Amino acid sequence: MMYVSIWLMMAVMLSIMMMMMCTMISKTSKKDRENMSPFECGFDPKSSARTPFSIQFFLIAVLFLIFDIEIAIMLPIILTMKINLTKMWIMTILSFIIILILGLYHEWNNGVLEWAK
């Protein structure tokens, strides 16, 4: 028990030291206007470099990722399907697809999929 507490204390101390070193190293030098401004071929930028991000695009991208991961999960299930467990595999895949379709239906009803408003 004593060894565990010693190792735990050493791990905590090492973590604290690493966090302190990272904060000291990450301190940037004097921030002036030229260093903080966006670079556009040496000229002042014509428009803001901080353009707003479309939340609609983000939601569509998240939906794409969800359905992409769905395919990545379902392909190994189909490839490893056993003949004697066919009913269980089919029920698993169907329940998975039904949950995703219900989520898509919910997103559709909330108007997330309408691009132009």
Q: What is the pLDDT of residues 27-61, one digit of tens each?
A: 665 555 566 666 656 666 666 666 677 777 887 88
The residue extents of the domains of the chain are 55-110
The highest-confidence range among 4-13, 65-74, 76-85, 100-109, by mean pLDDT, is 4-13
pLDDT computed for residue 54 by the predictor: 74
The answer, as to whether pTM is greater than 0.85, is no
DSSP string over the chain: -HHHHHHHHHHHHHHHHHHHHHHHHT------HHHHSPPBTTBPPSS-SSPPPPHHHHHHHHHHHHHHHHHHHHHHHHHT--STTHHHHHHHHHHHHHHHHHHHHHHHHHTTT----
